[in-house]
Amino acid sequence: MRSLRTATPTLLSLAAAFAFGIVLLLLAGAPPFEALWLLVEGSFGSASKISATLLAWSPLLLASAGLVITFAAGLWNIGVEGQIIVGAIAATWVARSLPGPLWVILPATIVAGAIGGLLWALIVGVLKTYGGVHEIFGGLGLDFVAAGLAVYLVLGPWQRTGVASTSGTDIFREEAWMPELEALGTGWPVVPVVLGLASVFIVWLLLRGTRFGLRLKAVGRNPQSSFLLGIPTNSYMLGAFAIGGALAGIAGTVQATGFHHKLVPAVSGGYGFLGILVVLLASFSAAWIAPIALFFVAISVGSTQLDLRLGLDSAFGGVLQGVIVLFVMIGGAWSARRVSASPTAAGEP
Amino acid sequence: MEATLNSIIAAAAPLVIATMGETITEKSGVVNLSLEGSLRLSAMTGFVVAFWVGHALVGFAAAAVIGALIAAIIASTSIKLKLNQIAVGFVLTLLAADLASFLGDSFVGERGPRVPALPIPVLSDIPFVGKVLFDHDLVVYGSFLAIGVTWWVFYRTRAGLNLQGVGERPEGAFARGVKVNTLRFWYTVLGGAMVGIAGAAYSLDVKLGWRETLTLNLGWIALAIVIFGGWHPLRVAFGAYLFGALQVLAFQLQDVFPGLAQVLPVAPFPLMILALVFVYSSGFRKFGDQFPRLRGLLGGAAPAAMGTVFERE
Amino acid sequence: MALEIRDIHKHFGPVRANDGVTFVVAEGSLHGILGENGAGKSTLMKVLSGFYEADSGAVVLDGESLDLRSPADAVAAGIGMLHQDPLVFLPFTVLDNFVLGSPGPDRLDRSSARADLERVSGELGFSFDPGRLVRDLTVGERQQLEITRLMWLGARVLIFDEPTTGISATQRAQLFSTLRSLAEDGLIVLFVSHKLEEVEELCDSVTVIREGRLVFEASMPVSPDVLVEEMFGKVFAEENREPVPLGAPVLQLSDVTVEEGTTRIENLDLSCAAGEVVGLAGLEGSGQRTLLRACAGLLSPDSGTLSVDGRNLSKASYRDHLSVGVHYLPAGRLEEGLVEGISIAEHLVLTSDDTSFFIDRDAADEAAEGEIEDYSIKGRPSSPAEALSGGNQQRLLLAMIPDDVRLLLLEHPTRGLDVGSAAYVWQRLLDRRVSGTAIVFASADLDELLRYSDRVVVFFAGEVFAVRSASETDGEELGYLIGGKERE
């Protein structure tokens, strides 16, 4: 009964969000139900499409998992985009310079991505804890710097053979590609999916089952009480940035070595900010990250079909995602307010 | 030199209007984080409406409505539903940006009406100053007006004092009979409308036409400039012009360093954030303390109740 | 002219903060309103000043029933309130604070406002630099500014809520003479306090509120014995405590000076031996909290030495204090003790000695069940802290105190607990004395201070006003001492 009551506002909000999407499609002169079907078809319609969806799911899982950790510590890690980019840059550096077979390069690129993202996130953390710069602006600034760095590398030191182009660096040699499993006539992104799901599982376990996770949650919810309980609050915030950054950095590795097979300026794919939406919709809990991220990434991947088939801009996917999160947040707060305004709830003196 | 200063002032005009709007909003205690999306959606709307109607002014009005609507969502969900302003603002950032891309897709590449140049007679003939300040169009004069009126209202009117009181200590303002949440709502809406006008200025004045990347990152920069400006209209305006100068400089340096042609246009963004980190540093605070008369200008503390919900006990 | 308060009721959920309060104050009166913390004085004053709307009842001024829905209504009707922490705007100038919220034309005419400020403040005997920031004024000056402002707005009734907290003796004297002259001019001054001495010195008439009801009213002078009894009820101290032989001193303060906000403790000497219980009495803000926070390592003494078990901790951090067995339990349970959204079991895990990486949930729940039963907490291991009642939150906090504590620092340890569980909690605390724990606690409950302390240290205005052995004093004497008076 209780779960039904709490689920109702969410379901109503979802319905309202889709209704909004349908109205929008009508406005754009598109057949709404065909368009919505294309979202499904475009993301799950064939083995190769499912494979593409899973490949996009992985970095979103990694970024979202990292964001669950930083949100748990009460931090707005807007710098996640930059952390993905720096992770991708670090992985690219390894992929370009480290000789050797796949089993050497694969772990090396993953570790490099993690370290890159971790260090980039720690800058934000240090600016926040010791410099008094709010993490939103420290993070944004470092997002800009990371994006600039990627452009500079792609056009400068790592430019494509021949003429420099914003289309990216040279393709990595194949030993540096994340291996795929051939089945059903297409390649399957096993390594990225395992990394993504493992990160969600680890974060879930950290927050649910460990002393570290519990302390982190305490710091995020009430730094004052936590300090009095003897928890070193600054160290825990920095720890949250480190973990969140490392996971975002691995997402960067996946983007560089698993998807593009090169470094491109927009290597983050926007999965950092999309991850923030996923975590907001999941109410900051790791348990719901995987299905919500799959839902969102299906919308993103499927919406590219709108462009190809109906000539609509693929940003429709982003609109739908944003409206869903906004409506669910409002619906949740609305029903919470009605509960607290009901006469059975006791007031506070 | 004249031409450079003239182009800095013209380039910064929309940013000045947007940052004045956000300054008003934040001074009342609300954070409208959605600027990156608001600018883009209002730039698109302003362009499309002006394109249909054939009149730039109508485009500006439509853009103002869009900016105001987004701001109204943030203000009302905060006041009525106690939702986190940052969370709602962030979602609206992405939502509005994608909505702009989706709805504006078929208008990319079109040319719309433009704001006519309007050199002010007599004044524009003054040597140097005339060329720098008075050889512009209505948007630029509007940006001057925005600075002047914001400053005047903040520091010379009762309404402005009440506005600052609401953002500083809502209980205190409430005790003095000020309607805290009503003011917060309407100042947020006003600030949002100004952001909308700024958006339209990008698509109808700075550039003639709309594309996705037109206002890229400028919303984030506007937010940073408000903090850099310490919520003081004049210092905020200085920040906006500083950024405009960096942009013009970067553009001109492209000829000097062709190898960095792709990097230079993005360089002002991290530089601006670095400037923000600098004004946050304790050294700058100490510098400000040495000039007590300029404390309002150099001190720059955030409105104490910014981002919080006021509830009558 | 007279102010009539007729049958005011104000409930917050099940709490009856005002339960039918009726009284009349005549023109030109300085009327004291006495009551202990939580008696309902503040609620009544907030109703009068329009902050709260009463559930029922009426406020009548000059025979006219007032419709008080907001502070603006109250100000318009001529009722002004000075809050304990004056509601001023720190980064604004004196002049801007003066005019903020006042009616008038849109354009601010600062020069005429400045003239008004100088005129009204001159009449009251105050002087301000209009361009100064209020941040740089003392609390006393901020009050003077608020009085000036309210008088300028035409106040006929002025409410002062604990106005002497945080101001110096000279400022207090000046405030009192201002209040007297205001009353002489025909104003009604309501003086809310729990300081007997001040009410005696200042007021013409007095009302005592206890548990939301008016229990006593009279013209002054009234014997302080009567006021003490009316404020606190009859205090019976019982000797139900096994004496424990005292050990070596655990906490030693010598010549300690420490400052926090407006409270300053100077040159304090105090010690607490193993097995001893020291109670800190005094009005809120008199220095007890500052002392406890200094002992906990949250404030660093400006001078003097603070040692625990002979170790000098004067410059040590909070975590250092924790590691040598100092445990501090502040009064704000959900603000500085518990964490919202974290369950009972998780709180106990946070404070347990176990350092294993993974949490054994079953064991944690089992341990929590044990503590829940032990401390009769109404809740389940999975109940989040904010779902517990205030009393149950306190029990959880007590359950979180580690076993091997050397020095326990408690702020209002049984506030909000019923008599039975308060006694039980104290039994648990007193049991710790056997293993040599020293206990220092602050309380507003005289009964609790007398019943559980070995010694009672009474604070008044940041100083140790008196030290009494609990067995040699009584509630009446403590009531006097807390009000800053020796019993005659």
Phi, psi of A3 (to 5 degrees): -65, -30
Mutate to test the interface with B, among C42, C47, C49, C100 (most CBs of B within 10 A): C100
Which subunits sit against A, judged by 3+ Cβ pairs under 8 A? B, C
Any B CB within 8 A of C104 CB: yes
DSSP per residue over A168-181, as a string? -SPPPPGGGSPP-E
> Would you call C75 and B158 a contact, using CB atoms and an 8 Å cutoff?
no
Smallest CA-to-CA distance from A67 within A109, A117, A138, A14 is with: A117
Measure the CA–CA gap between C354 and C358, rounded to whole angstroms.
10
- For chain B, the residue count is 313
Query: What is the pLDDT, as a whole number, of residue A4?
Result: 57
- For residue B288, name the pLDDT band (cuts at 50, 70, 90): low
Using an 8 Å CB-CB cutoff, list chain C residues near B153. none
- For residue A348, name the pLDDT band (cuts at 50, 70, 90): very low
- For residue B12, name the pLDDT band (cuts at 50, 70, 90): very high
- What would the pLDDT profile of B129-150 be if each residue is shown by its tens digit? 888 899 899 999 999 999 999 9
Measure the CA–CA gap between A87 and A245, rounded to whole angstroms.
9
Among all chains, which residue has been given the structure tokens 């056997």?
C434
DSSP assigned state of B203: I
Phi, psi of A90 (to 5 degrees): -60, -45
Any B CB within 8 A of C75 CB: yes
Which subunits sit against C, judged by 3+ Cβ pairs under 8 A? A, B
> Would you call A76 and B86 a contact, using CB atoms and an 8 Å cutoff?
yes
| Helices (H), ranges, B54-84 | 56-79
The Cα of B156 is separated from the nearest Cα of chain C by a number of Å equal to 6
For B31, other C-beta atoms within 10 Å of its C-beta total 24
Are the C-beta atoms of B240 and B227 separated by less than 8 Å? no
Per-residue pLDDT averaged across C472-477, rounded? 83
Measure the CA–CA gap between C148 and C137, rounded to whole angstroms.
15
Which residues touch C180 (CB under 8 Å, ≥6 apart)? C30, C202
Using an 8 Å CB-CB cutoff, list chain B residues near A76. 86, 90
DSSP assigned state of B169: -
Per-residue pLDDT averaged across B231-237, rounded? 94
Measure the CA–CA gap between A81 and A93, rounded to whole angstroms.
19
Q: Which long-range contacts (CB under 8 A, 24 or more apart) does C129-134 make?
A: C129/C94, C130/C93, C130/C94, C130/C95, C130/C98, C131/C93, C131/C94, C131/C95, C132/C93, C132/C94, C133/B295, C133/C90, C133/C91, C133/C92, C133/C93, C133/C94, C134/C88, C134/C89, C134/C90, C134/C91, C134/C92, C134/C93, C134/C94, C134/C97
Query: What is the pLDDT, as a whole number, of residue A349?
Result: 28
More confident residue, C226 or B235: B235
Nearest-10 Cα torsion for C194, C198, C201, C202: -80
DSSP per residue over C30-79, as a string? EEEEE--TTSSHHHHHHHHTTSS--SEEEEEETTEE---SSHHHHHHHTE
Query: Is residue A1 over pLDDT 50?
Result: no
What are the residues of chain B with a beta carbon less than 8 Å away from any beta carbon of chain A?
33, 73, 77, 80-83, 86-88, 90-92, 94-105, 217, 220, 223-224, 227, 259-260, 262-263, 266-267, 269-270, 273-274, 276-277, 280-281
Structure tokens at A18: 């889709």
DSSP per residue over B290-307, as a string? T-GGGHHHHT-PPPTTTT
Using an 8 Å CB-CB cutoff, list chain B residues near C46. 313
Structure tokens at C96: 């801007």
**A276-290, B134-148, C457-471, range with the lowest pLDDT:** C457-471
DSSP per residue over A36-85, as a string? HHHHHHHHHSSHHHHHHHHHHHHHHHHHHHHHHHHHHTT---TTHHHHHH
**B217-221, B274-278, B295-299, range with the lowest pLDDT:** B295-299
Which residue(s) pair with C3 in the sheet?
C25, C61
- What would the pLDDT profile of B66-119 be if each residue is shown by its tens digit? 999 999 999 999 999 999 999 999 999 999 999 999 999 889 988 888 888 888
Any B CB within 8 A of C153 CB: no
Query: What is the pLDDT, as a whole number, of residue B96?
Result: 97
Any C CB within 8 A of A228 CB: yes
DSSP per residue over B268-295, as a string? HHHHHHHHHHHHHSHHHHHHHHT-GGGH
> Would you call B162 and C100 a contact, using CB atoms and an 8 Å cutoff?
yes
Per-residue pLDDT averaged across A158-178, rounded? 89
- What would the pLDDT profile of C64-90 be if each residue is shown by its tens digit? 888 888 888 898 899 999 987 889 999
Query: Is residue B254 over pLDDT 90?
Result: no
Counting one residue from chain A and one from chain C, the pairs whose CB atoms sit within 8 A come to 67
| Helices (H), ranges, C81-195 | 94-99, 110-124, 139-152, 169-184
- For residue C226, name the pLDDT band (cuts at 50, 70, 90): confident
Query: What is the pLDDT, as a whole number, of residue A342?
Result: 42
CB nearest to A214's CB, from C328, C335, C349: C349
CB nearest to A229's CB, from C12, C350, C354: C350
Query: Is residue A181 over pLDDT 70?
Result: yes
DSSP assigned state of C402: -
Per-residue pLDDT averaged across C142-155, rounded? 91
Any C CB within 8 A of A283 CB: no
Using an 8 Å CB-CB cutoff, list chain C residues near A225. 334-339
Are the C-beta atoms of C364 and C381 separated by less than 8 Å? yes
Using an 8 Å CB-CB cutoff, list chain B residues near C96. 161
User: At CA B288, angle to CA B287 and CA B289, rounded to 5?
Assistant: 90
> Would you call C51 and B295 a contact, using CB atoms and an 8 Å cutoff?
no
Residues 54-113 of A with CB under 8 A from C: none
The Cα of C360 is separated from the nearest Cα of chain A by a number of Å equal to 8
The Cα of C341 is separated from the nearest Cα of chain B by a number of Å equal to 17
Per-residue pLDDT averaged across C367-382, rounded? 88
Smallest CA-to-CA distance from B175 within C400, C74, C364, C458 is with: C74
Q: How much of chain C exceeds pLDDT 90, in percent?
A: 36
Any C CB within 8 A of A31 CB: no
Are the C-beta atoms of C453 and C277 separated by less than 8 Å? yes
Query: What is the pLDDT, as a whole number, of residue A344?
Result: 35
Average pLDDT, chain C: 86
| Closest CA in chain A for residue B92 | A322
The winner for highest mean pLDDT among A217-221, C68-72, C232-236 is A217-221
The Cα of C136 is separated from the nearest Cα of chain B by a number of Å equal to 12
The Cα of A138 is separated from the nearest Cα of chain B by a number of Å equal to 7
| Closest CA in chain B for residue C110 | B156
> Would you call A227 and C357 a contact, using CB atoms and an 8 Å cutoff?
no
- For residue C12, name the pLDDT band (cuts at 50, 70, 90): confident
Structure tokens at A325: 């999160």
Measure the CA–CA gap between A251 and C14, rounded to whole angstroms.
53
Does this complex have an ipTM over 0.90?
A: yes
Measure the CA–CA gap between C190 and B251, rounded to whole angstroms.
69
Smallest CA-to-CA distance from A135 within A147, A146, A121, A148 is with: A121
Any B CB within 8 A of C152 CB: no
The Cα of B83 is separated from the nearest Cα of chain C by a number of Å equal to 17
Any B CB within 8 A of C10 CB: no
The Cα of B270 is separated from the nearest Cα of chain A by a number of Å equal to 5
- For residue C238, name the pLDDT band (cuts at 50, 70, 90): low
CB nearest to A218's CB, from C322, C339, C359: C339
Any C CB within 8 A of B283 CB: no
3-state secondary structure at position A221: helix
Per-residue pLDDT averaged across B239-259, rounded? 86
Helix orientation angle between C110-124 and C139-152, rounded to the nearest 10 degrees:
110
Which residues touch B51 (CB under 8 Å, ≥6 apart)? B59, B107, B110, B112, B113
Query: Is residue B2 over pLDDT 90?
Result: no
Are the C-beta atoms of C330 and A228 separated by less than 8 Å? yes
Any C CB within 8 A of A148 CB: no
**A86-95, B16-25, B273-282, range with the lowest pLDDT:** B273-282
Q: How much of chain B exceeds pLDDT 70, in percent?
A: 92
CB nearest to A228's CB, from C15, C328, C356: C328
Structure tokens at B113: 């009406």
Query: What is the pLDDT, as a whole number, of residue C166?
Result: 63
**A270-284, C332-346, C472-486, range with the lowest pLDDT:** C472-486
| Helices (H), ranges, chain B | 2-27, 35-53, 56-79, 85-104, 129-133, 138-156, 158-168, 170-175, 180-201, 218-228, 233-256, 268-280, 282-289, 295-298
Query: Is residue C230 over pLDDT 90?
Result: no
Using an 8 Å CB-CB cutoff, list chain B residues near A78. 90
What is the distance in angstroms between the CA of the first residue and the CA of the last residue of chain C?
38
3-state secondary structure at position C275: coil
Structure tokens at C100: 């903020």
The winner for highest mean pLDDT among B228-242, C254-268, C422-436 is B228-242
Using an 8 Å CB-CB cutoff, list chain B residues near A24. 102-103
Per-residue pLDDT averaged across C180-192, rounded? 91
Residue A304 zone, left/alpha/beta (φ > 0; ψ -120 to 50; rest): alpha
> Would you call C12 and A224 a contact, using CB atoms and an 8 Å cutoff?
no
- For residue A106, name the pLDDT band (cuts at 50, 70, 90): very high
Are the C-beta atoms of A203 and A69 separated by less than 8 Å? yes
Are the C-beta atoms of A184 and A49 separated by less than 8 Å? no
Using an 8 Å CB-CB cutoff, list chain C residues near B166. none
Mutate to test the interface with B, among C15, C89, C145 (most CBs of B within 10 A): C89
Sign of CA dihedral C133, C136, C138, C139: positive
Measure the CA–CA gap between C37 and C284, rounded to whole angstroms.
8
Say whether the peptide bond before residue C86 is cis (omega within 30 degrees of 0).
no
Among all chains, which residue has been given the structure tokens 């660093």?
C300
Are the C-beta atoms of B51 and B106 separated by less than 8 Å? no
Query: What is the pLDDT, as a whole number, of residue B9?
Result: 94
DSSP per residue over A118-181, as a string? HHHHHHHHHHHHHH---HHHHHHHHHHHHHHHHHHHHHTTTPPSSS--TT-SPPPPGGGSPP-E
Residue C245 zone, left/alpha/beta (φ > 0; ψ -120 to 50; rest): beta
Query: What is the pLDDT, as a whole number, of residue C164?
Result: 77
The Cα of C101 is separated from the nearest Cα of chain B by a number of Å equal to 5
Mutate to test the interface with C, among B154, B155, B158 (most CBs of C within 10 A): B158
Query: What is the pLDDT, as a whole number, of residue C455?
Result: 93
